[in-house]
Chains A and B, each alone.
Chain A
Amino acid sequence: MEERPCAVLLKFPGTNCDEETARALEAVGFVTEVIPISVLKPEKLVGVSLVVLSGGFSYGDYVMAGRLARLVTEQKVGETLKEFRDNGGYLLGICNGFQILTQLDLLPAGSLVENTSGRFQCQWVTLKNRAPESPFLSGLPESFEFPIAHAEGRLVTTESSEAAGYLESGAAALTYSTDVNGSFEQIAGLQDESGRVFGLMPHPERFMSQEDHYDPDWSNGQGGDETRGSGYYLFRSLYDSVTSTSE
């Protein structure tokens, strides 16, 4: 009997993209469970292949985005997420989840601060895939679109040379094709050295099908299975990696 890999989504007070992210994961084959942070224990990650931190505003993000979520997570499970990664587990952080993963030191050093526009920005952006070998991006073309929706998505590093280093090392797996929010080196997503931890500001779960695109004629000339959106291929790549490594 086929065993479907299990993904858990951590839910903080204020996390609000867990439902559609779970739906996206299920669409590519994962079994999902949403775990409110109040009941998170290290044991909950036993048998789990993927931990997802989905979008939203954990604890309102009134302090720095993701800061309180980090403190609570550390208090609940300590170093468990790092051990989970070291044991072959995958971690994905989307938007607020990316902010939290950064806070948890699971990704290369950097902070996600207020966009240079000083505004919340809900729009579609074109992205460059700089890590085609990443388990998260292997199924995506060199360039594709995702929507963003954030006020604090500007990735900064202590020294700007660090961000430039991320481009060279491949840590900057995803970049914007234009300057969207003031991110250093236009970085939109980061991966860790293992490649199994990935965080991005854009929302792949909002582009699962062709009809999610703002232009009804988007798929004309795109080729491939035209009913799918680019987000599907991100989750599908991940599923393929998870299932091939677990064999």
Chain B
Amino acid sequence: MSDQTILDEIAEAPADHYRILKISDLDGDKLLELSKFMHLSLSKEDMLAVQEIYKGWDREPTDVELEVIAQTWSEHCKHRIFGADIEHEIDGEKESVKSLFKTYIYDVSHQIFDSKPGFVLSAFHDNAGFIKLDEEQAICLKAETHNHPSAIEPYAGANTGLGGVIRDILGAGKGAKPIGSLDVFCFGSPDTSMDNIKADDVLHPLGIMRGVVRGVRDYGNRMGIPTISGAIQFDDSYIYNPLVYCGTAGVIPIKDIDKKVEAGMKIIAVGGRTGRDGLHGATFSSAALDTESHESDQQAVQIGNPIEEKKAADFVLAARDKQLIGSITDCGAGGFSSACGEMLEECGGTIILDNIPLKEPGLVSWEVFISESQERMVLAVAESDLPALQELADLYETEMTILGDADGSGILKVTHHGETVCQLDCSKLHDAPVRQLKAKWEKKTKVIEAPVLSNPGATLKELLSDFAIVSREPIIREYDHEVQGNTVLKPLAGAAGDAPQDAAVMRINGSDRLMSMSVAILPEWGKTDPYAMGAACVDECMRQLVASGADPDRIAILDNFCVGNPEAEEELGALVETVKGIADAAVAYGAPFVSGKDSFYNYFETEEGPVSIPVTILISGMGIVEESAHVTGASLRRDDSLIAIIGHTSAELGGSVFARQTGLNDAEVPGTNLEEAMKMYRQYYRAIQEGLILSAHDVSEGGLAVTLAEAAFSGKAGLEIDLCSLPMDDEASKAAMLFGESPSRIVVEVAPENLEKLAALFEGLPFACLGRAEADHSNLNIVWGKETLMNEPIDELKSLWKNGLAQYY
């Protein structure tokens, strides 16, 4: 009787399509066995709580109901760890955190909302948060991860990752129009040896990279949404768990932000059909990967069909413009169960599963209800508008189905083949047991002696060839970053059209204002100083937006976390410290979080034990650019201009690409002087408004020397730079001056006649003119007084930088 399963013991099947599960008499261990067997990803405590709820109702659950609860309570949907009670210990000091989300994200952001009335128009409760663009329109941004699917099936995983976040935007408000996407990846190094992969069936990072890029390309390009912003990190810790972040921005008329489901409305679905693809995506992403996942979980990865989504998008935007939408949401994790559950959460209503068009016959009730088949949207609409909606569906050739109706009962009722297969009071399901977790972090860095540079020019060349810095051009060119015709500041620009930029800027139809978008991710910092990583990520995102011309007082950001094992105290401790870092920076910059997401269990059971990713935070941001004249690129524009730096260079080398190359793994990581930085950004913005800045490039990976080289990659001129007047710590080494990555610094190009005005704006703040653009040669010449530090032909530097990734992609 070895194939006797827990289900056989407790299930009763009143019909072929659903079962009643007798859980009331099971003990904790048996409940856990059931959870595992059904892939519910619910803990023993969760299952006991479910049992308790049903005891209160004096009945047994159906399998559909258990699946719905598992989706609702999944880490993916409910963010249980961000809501947990955490006993945290930092350098021996104990503290307790009641909900990271509430304490450091929600409350912090609401404090900022209050200080900027009318700026944030919606946050946290909808698919994406909106900020005001002008009197008529609002913009939004949402980012998601699709890590586990991308590890197993990179093309399809990334494809549907982008497809999913685009639907988030279509389902934000009464339907926002997607106008630009971002993608950020963390992979193992492209030159990883197969011998270093210590588990079967794990794909080589190069295979993952190629698949992921093509997946993003084929979805974004076909949808006609420009992919304009991104980043890639390469580190061995991502070999088993690659990270794939996809984000999309949208625009909406302000009047269409508020949505409402009312009793009597019809619930309809548009888009693709429902099949067995994508079962258990939400619960699958709430568990760790192992070799077996690669075999057994393939049905959790869906197949994307961007044209299906494009048709649905055309339908949604046309329906919104005709005022035919009461409410809308996307089918993401949890499929119809999440979408309908969310939509009917307050109002209640009935969903008739028989109405749902299927890809194949024979799906049982729970499969229909939780399938994560792609390209589906759920809407609540007035019954009288159904003919007009059907006409639009016919016009754009998308399938529209009436699923059921909202009835004001407060109960989510699901019927199939004439029987009620689910009847839940969703308001009773909100209180998933609060998890109790322990976290711990100890300082890991120390003051080190900076290495003496024997040949700084050679070091610069090594940095420019490092995977962390090399040009992403081969990938960027695979994405259509100009469709919709609004990309003003492109990801590659400058006189030769191939130099890196800090942010991307798009025009918005119908407005004089523009939107700037950028991303920041610094996982190397977090390995030793997660708090510093958090603050520096917010700073870098903010700085890139400001550098490109955005108003520093009209910026909103997103936090997207990826974490290994939250039950490991140190990993959770790193998370707590990171969250504190981003929260402090957000407050200092007045840049609220308007949306965020977290992904846990990014660890893998290898032959040599579990391998976790480092706690990784992606901060992505959107900023308002007042007019197109303010848009500022990062490439040198003239051969007679002056080069200045804004910001202070500190002595610490930790977290830098230089430190990693030199093996300084525990060097102190630079902190961020948040108050001073905000003052500088505001002054910089005044300089932008006064037209004083020709170009500006933020100092990030590779430090000042790399920044200067990248600015010069426009090919307009050589550079003569003297670091004597660089504002810095007294003890800063040459290595720190050239290659340190202390935050809050921007290199600016200014016309000689404007230098004085610019310097006056930065009085009392770290600012210095470092040198000039040079028409007579095309070298990067950096001196320290009389000592030449490097004098390298820019062409040579550029070719190293340009070809570093091209040979692998």
A residues with a Cβ closer than 8 A to B are 13-14, 16-17, 19-20, 23-24, 36, 38-39, 55-57, 59-60, 119-124, 147, 149, 203, 205-206, 208, 211-212, 214-217
Instruction: Provide the bound-state CA to CA distance between A205 and B224, in Å.
Output: 14
Would B396 and A36 count as touching, CB distance under 8 A? yes
Would B488 and A212 count as touching, CB distance under 8 A? yes
Kindly list 19 other residue pairs between chains A and B, CB separation below 8 angstroms, not including A19-B509, A36-B397, A216-B631.
A13-B307, A16-B222, A17-B224, A17-B485, A20-B483, A24-B485, A36-B314, A55-B483, A57-B222, A120-B217, A120-B479, A121-B478, A122-B482, A149-B221, A149-B480, A212-B485, A215-B493, A215-B714, A217-B637
Instruction: Provide the bound-state CA to CA distance between A14 and B217, in Å.
Output: 15
A–B Cβ pairs within 8 angstroms, 16 of them: A13-B307, A16-B224, A16-B483, A20-B484, A39-B395, A55-B483, A57-B307, A60-B222, A120-B480, A123-B497, A149-B482, A214-B492, A214-B494, A215-B494, A215-B497, A217-B638
Would B637 and A216 count as touching, CB distance under 8 A? yes
Query: Which residues on B sit within 8 Å (CB–CB) of A59?
Result: 307
Q: Say whether B253 faces chain A, with CB atoms less than 8 Å apart.
A: no
**Which residue of the partner chain A has the closest CB to B492?**
A214
Would A119 and B478 count as touching, CB distance under 8 A? yes
Would A206 and B485 count as touching, CB distance under 8 A? yes
Would A211 and B631 count as touching, CB distance under 8 A? yes
Query: Which residues on B sit within 8 Å (CB–CB) of A216?
Result: 493, 631, 633, 637
Q: Say whether B554 faces chain A, with CB atoms less than 8 Å apart.
A: no
Query: Which residues on B sit within 8 Å (CB–CB) of A122?
Result: 476-482
Instruction: Provide the bound-state CA to CA distance between A203 and B217, in Å.
Output: 18
Q: Say whether B440 faces chain A, with CB atoms less than 8 Å apart.
A: no
Would A147 and B637 count as touching, CB distance under 8 A? no
Instruction: Provide the bound-state CA to CA distance between A132 and B488, in Å.
Output: 29
Our count of residue pairs bridging A and B at CB distance below 8 angstroms stands at: 104
Would A211 and B395 count as touching, CB distance under 8 A? no
**Which residue of the partner chain B has the closest CB to A207?**
B485
Query: Which residues on A sit within 8 Å (CB–CB) of B478?
Result: 119-122
Query: Which residues on A sit within 8 Å (CB–CB) of B481?
Result: 122
Instruction: Provide the bound-state CA to CA distance between A217 and B497, in Å.
Output: 12
Q: Please give me the 9 A-B residue pairs with the lowest Cβ-Cβ distance, nearest first.
A: A16-B224, A20-B485, A214-B497, A149-B480, A60-B307, A214-B493, A14-B307, A57-B222, A206-B485
Query: Which residues on A sit within 8 Å (CB–CB) of B494?
Result: 214-215
Would A120 and B488 count as touching, CB distance under 8 A? no
**Which residue of the partner chain A has the closest CB to B479?**
A122
Would B477 and A119 count as touching, CB distance under 8 A? yes
Interface centre among A14, A17, A23, A122 (most CB of B within 10 A): A122
Would A215 and B495 count as touching, CB distance under 8 A? yes
Query: Which residues on A sit within 8 Å (CB–CB) of B311?
Result: 13
**Which residue of the partner chain B has the closest CB to A124?**
B497
Query: Which residues on A sit within 8 Å (CB–CB) of B714?
Result: 215
Would B485 and A38 count as touching, CB distance under 8 A? no
Q: Say whether B29 faces chain A, with CB atoms less than 8 Å apart.
A: no
* CB < 8 Å neighbour of A211 from B306, B488, B497: B488
Mark out the residues of chain B between 463 and 488 whose CB falls within 8 Å of any chain A CB in the assembled complex: 476-488
Query: Which residues on A sit within 8 Å (CB–CB) of B488?
Result: 211-212
Instruction: Provide the bound-state CA to CA distance between A211 and B513, in Å.
Output: 14
Instruction: Provide the bound-state CA to CA distance between A147 and B485, in Å.
Output: 10
Q: Say whether B223 faces chain A, with CB atoms less than 8 Å apart.
A: yes
A24 CB to nearest chain B CB (Å): 7
Q: Say whether B310 faces chain A, with CB atoms less than 8 Å apart.
A: yes
Would B222 and A14 count as touching, CB distance under 8 A? yes
A98 CB to nearest chain B CB (Å): 16
Query: Which residues on A sit within 8 Å (CB–CB) of B496?
Result: 215
Would A19 and B484 count as touching, CB distance under 8 A? yes
B296 CB to nearest chain A CB (Å): 29
Would A206 and B637 count as touching, CB distance under 8 A? no
Would B482 and A203 count as touching, CB distance under 8 A? yes
Would B495 and A38 count as touching, CB distance under 8 A? no
Mark out the residues of chain B between 494 and 533 whose CB falls within 8 Å of any chain A CB in the assembled complex: 494-497, 509
Q: Say whether B803 faces chain A, with CB atoms less than 8 Å apart.
A: no
Would A38 and B310 count as touching, CB distance under 8 A? no
Instruction: Provide the bound-state CA to CA distance between A59 and B492, in Å.
Output: 30
B507 CB to nearest chain A CB (Å): 8
Query: Which residues on B sit within 8 Å (CB–CB) of A23?
Result: 485, 509
Number of interface residues of B (CB under 8 A): 42
Query: Which residues on A sit within 8 Å (CB–CB) of B631?
Result: 211, 216
Instruction: Provide the bound-state CA to CA distance between A133 and B494, in Å.
Output: 33
B271 CB to nearest chain A CB (Å): 12
Q: Say whether B415 faces chain A, with CB atoms less than 8 Å apart.
A: no
A57 CB to nearest chain B CB (Å): 5
Query: Which residues on A sit within 8 Å (CB–CB) of B221?
Result: 57, 120, 149
Instruction: Provide the bound-state CA to CA distance between A168 and B506, in Å.
Output: 41
Instruction: Provide the bound-state CA to CA distance between A56 and B494, in Å.
Output: 27
Query: Which residues on B sit within 8 Å (CB–CB) of A14?
Result: 222, 306-307, 310
Query: Which residues on A sit within 8 Å (CB–CB) of B224?
Result: 16-17, 56
B503 CB to nearest chain A CB (Å): 15
Query: Which residues on B sit within 8 Å (CB–CB) of A215?
Result: 493-497, 714
A14 CB to nearest chain B CB (Å): 5
Interface centre among A36, A120, A147, A216 (most CB of B within 10 A): A216
Would B310 and A13 count as touching, CB distance under 8 A? yes
Query: Which residues on A sit within 8 Å (CB–CB) of B633?
Result: 216
A214 CB to nearest chain B CB (Å): 4
**Which residue of the partner chain B has the closest CB to A203?**
B482
**Which residue of the partner chain A has the closest CB to B476?**
A122
A202 CB to nearest chain B CB (Å): 11
Would A38 and B394 count as touching, CB distance under 8 A? yes
Interface centre among B221, B307, B480, B481 (most CB of A within 10 A): B480
Would A206 and B495 count as touching, CB distance under 8 A? no
Instruction: Provide the bound-state CA to CA distance between A119 and B305, in Å.
Output: 20
Query: Which residues on A sit within 8 Å (CB–CB) of B298?
Result: none
**Which residue of the partner chain A has the closest CB to B493?**
A214
Instruction: Provide the bound-state CA to CA distance between A57 and B217, in Å.
Output: 13
Would B306 and A60 count as touching, CB distance under 8 A? yes
Q: Say whether B490 faces chain A, with CB atoms less than 8 Å apart.
A: yes
Q: Say whether B628 faces chain A, with CB atoms less than 8 Å apart.
A: yes
Instruction: Provide the bound-state CA to CA distance between A122 and B638, in Å.
Output: 26
Query: Which residues on A sit within 8 Å (CB–CB) of B314?
Result: 36
Would A123 and B477 count as touching, CB distance under 8 A? yes
Query: Which residues on A sit within 8 Å (CB–CB) of B637?
Result: 216-217
A124 CB to nearest chain B CB (Å): 5
A54 CB to nearest chain B CB (Å): 10
Would B477 and A120 count as touching, CB distance under 8 A? yes
B371 CB to nearest chain A CB (Å): 22
Query: Which residues on A sit within 8 Å (CB–CB) of B397?
Result: 13, 36, 38
Query: Which residues on A sit within 8 Å (CB–CB) of B396?
Result: 13, 36, 38
Interface centre among B476, B497, B714 (most CB of A within 10 A): B497
**Which residue of the partner chain A has the closest CB to B629?**
A211
On whether A16 and B497 interact (CB within 8 A), knowing A122-B478, A206-B482, A214-B492, the answer reads: no
B211-225 vs A: 1/0 string, CB under 8 Å?
Answer: 000000100011110
**Which residue of the partner chain B has the closest CB to A34?**
B314
B674 CB to nearest chain A CB (Å): 31
A69 CB to nearest chain B CB (Å): 12
Query: Which residues on B sit within 8 Å (CB–CB) of A121?
Result: 477-478
B734 CB to nearest chain A CB (Å): 34
Instruction: Provide the bound-state CA to CA distance between A120 and B494, in Å.
Output: 22
**Which residue of the partner chain A has the closest CB to B495?**
A215
Instruction: Provide the bound-state CA to CA distance between A156 and B573, in Å.
Output: 60
Query: Which residues on B sit within 8 Å (CB–CB) of A39?
Result: 395
**Which residue of the partner chain B has the closest CB to A56?**
B224
Query: Which residues on A sit within 8 Å (CB–CB) of B395?
Result: 36, 38-39
Query: Which residues on A sit within 8 Å (CB–CB) of B483?
Result: 16-17, 20, 55, 149, 206
B56 CB to nearest chain A CB (Å): 50
Instruction: Provide the bound-state CA to CA distance between A119 and B479, in Å.
Output: 10
A99 CB to nearest chain B CB (Å): 14
A185 CB to nearest chain B CB (Å): 24
Query: Which residues on B sit within 8 Å (CB–CB) of A19?
Result: 484, 509
Instruction: Provide the bound-state CA to CA distance between A56 and B488, in Å.
Output: 20
Query: Which residues on B sit within 8 Å (CB–CB) of A17?
Result: 224, 483-485
Query: Which residues on B sit within 8 Å (CB–CB) of A56?
Result: 222, 224
